[in-house]
Structure formats: structure tokens, C-alpha cells
Amino acid sequence: MIEAVGLTKRYGDRTAVDDLTFTVRPGAVTGFLGPNGSGKSTTMRMILGLDNPTAGTVTIGGLPYRKLPNPARQVGALLDARAVHGGRTARDHLLSLAQLSGIPARRVDEVLDVVGLRDVAGRRTKGFSLGMGQRLGIAAALLGDPQVLLFDEPVNGLDPEGIYWVRNLMKELAAEGRTVFVSSHLMSEMAQTADHLIVIGRGRLLADMSVRDFIAANSAGFARVRTPGSEPEQRERLTTVLTEAGGQVLPEPDGALRVTGLPLPRISDLAHDAGVRLWELSPHQASLEEAYIRLTQHAVDHRSTADPKAGLTEPLPPGAEPPLPVPGQGQPGWFVPPPPQDPATAAGAVPGPQDGTAPSPAPTTSEDPR
């Protein structure tokens, strides 16, 4: 188990990690998510004793990393797969790590098998592809058969087969009862790998909840409705009746209407009663990726000025609902699902700096299985 309490790191006047409190439990894959520069690597380095916190503490199994009796046997980490002596073979690299930590040499061949590098174990690592380097880094993390594993962006540079393999490996390690903490800036990746999510933005905690709760709290459903394009008055009439019936209606750039707050059969009945013909009435679900973008949109340091999503940081007029996205359709400024309506369903969501409230750790419900 990893426990951070009030963890803070400042570099000069730059606060990289800001008062983070969270727990990473065994038996689950915990995804550590945040935009570029949000403080994920800095947090991981502090967990591993490579950086000293400016304030707060972080412990592994109750002890700071540097106080662990035999850290390599208890904690394995992949931080930077390129941090390898290129003149050494993969086997020699792992052998030297094993010797440093008193790990038997036979374990090297075991981990080479696990990561699928046995056939190239005698090759110098400077000729390795990015994916082979990642596999070697993962082998090094597994060397001491540790109970706690940290992986910083482990699928970077991997092909689809490699990504699939890493995903399954993480799940297997967690199923064996290990603590698996994996950073990524890709929500789509984490949604498929992680059981639990810790989301940060500009070093601050934004969410600490299960993937299931995150989906329940952030996936928004909506209906897409289209009337005959040559009859704009039908579209206007439909907008009026749907709004009067309590729906929220937003025009889409291609002429369709996006409707929330009314079930599909009700939309159909209202259109029929108003004498409006429908050319489309379809259900849609806002994706988790879009929910993640909404959560972190005010915590992004670097944004392309040519990015059409830049529009989503524009403040909405008072009382206006943010428009909903259509998955897979590029529509400027239309990417963000609304926040969950019922605060009870958003358990674990932590107020972020964007709303001016102080962040606080999420309530935890599950017991430490160890």
C-alpha cells in the first residue's frame, strides 16, 4: 500500500505537487492520470525516494522508501525506459541490477521470459526499439518480485500488441494481490486497465474514485434529433416543444439538435403531437475521455492555440449548460459533457482549483485487503 499525506513539491516558485493525499491499495490497478506537467512523475519520484517532498509524507507499507529494509524486493518501478547503459546486453543489464540487490541470477531469465525478451537477451540494448526498451524496463521492475509496482507511462511507444500485453500484465500483477500504480495522460488507456483512478491537475487532486464511479458520475447520455433540413420551421417548432417539456436543446453545427433531459420515446411523442417529422432520433453517450477532458480542462498547462477544443475553456453565459459531445465527431467547442447533476453520484470527485474551493481527499469505502 502506498500512502501520501499532504505531499507537496516546489521547485523555486513553481509548485509541481500540491498537498496531495491519497492511498494506493493492493489487489487493484490504480491509474494515475493528469495532463502533461501535472506532477505525476514528480509524485512517483517522491514515492521512490528520488526527490524529497517540500512538505508532507509518502510511505510504502508504512515506511518511507529510503527506510525500507530491502527496497528492490519490495518495490519495483519503471520510470524512464531509456535509463539503460546501451553498451550492455539486456541480460547483463538485469544481472547487474540483480547483483546490486542480492537477487539470484536465475530470476533474470524468469523476468526475460515474462516480458518476452529471452530471444534478444544477448543483444546490446542500444539497438533496442522503444517497445523493447519498455519491456526491459518492466523486466527490471519485476526483478525483485515486489509487492508494490510503479509504472510511469508504461505504454509509451508501444504498438497495439505491446499495449495489450502491458494492460494484461498490470491486471495479472494486481490479481496476484500486488499494489500496481500506473501513470498515464490517456484516459482511454486507463479506462481499460485500471480499477481505480487518481486524477491530478497542476499538482492538485481532482478525483479519487473507482473507474466504475467515474463512469457513472461522468458519462452523460443525450439524444440526437434531426428534422428535414429544408424545413427550418420544423426544427424551431421542435425546439420549442422540447424545451417547454423540460428538455435542454442545443443546435449542432450540422443542423441536428442535441437533447438532454427527455427520454427518446417522449421526444418522439412530442414531435408527433407537434406535427414535426423526424429524420433521426438516436441515443448517444459522452465518452469517458471527454469527461476526463472536462475534469482537467482548467488544469492544462500547454494547449495548442490551433486546438479546436480550446473553445471549451471559454466561460459559459450565466445559467447556460455546457453542450454535450457527439462521440467521434469533431465539433469545435463541443467536447465537454455537463458535470453530474446529483452530487451523491459524484462521490470521490474533489473540487478542483478551477472552482476556487480547497481540494480534500475523497472518502474511501473499501478496506485494505491485506
Residues forming contacts to ligand ATP in the complex (CB under 6 A) are 11, 14, 16, 34, 36-42, 185
Q: What angle in degrees, to the nearest 10, is found between the helix axes of 130-142 and 90-100?
A: 20
Residue whose CB is less far from ligand ATP, 51 or 145: 51
Give min distance, CB of 47 to ligand ATP, in A: 12
DSSP characters over 93-131: HHHHHHHHTT--THHHHHHHHHHT-GGGTTSBGGG--HH
Give min distance, CB of 50 to ligand ATP, in A: 10
Residue 107 near residue 98, CB atoms below 8 Å: yes
Give min distance, CB of 219 to ligand ATP, in A: 24
Which position has the grid cell 494515475? 32
CB atoms within 10 A of CB 332: 12
Give min distance, CB of 43 to ligand ATP, in A: 7
Contacts (Cβ under 8 Å, ≥6 apart) of 253: 331, 332, 334
Give min distance, CB of 237 to ligand ATP, in A: 49
Residue whose CB is less far from ligand ATP, 152 or 290: 152
Residue whose CB is less far from ligand ATP, 54 or 354: 54
The amino acid that residue 350 corresponds to is V
Cα–Cα distance list, 336 to 275, 281, 297, 309 (Å): 32, 21, 9, 9
Residue whose CB is less far from ligand ATP, 38 or 227: 38
Residue 301 near residue 36, CB atoms below 8 Å: yes
Give min distance, CB of 89 to ligand ATP, in A: 29
Residue whose CB is less far from ligand ATP, 14 or 106: 14
Residue whose CB is less far from ligand ATP, 325 or 352: 352
Which position has the grid cell 546501451? 86
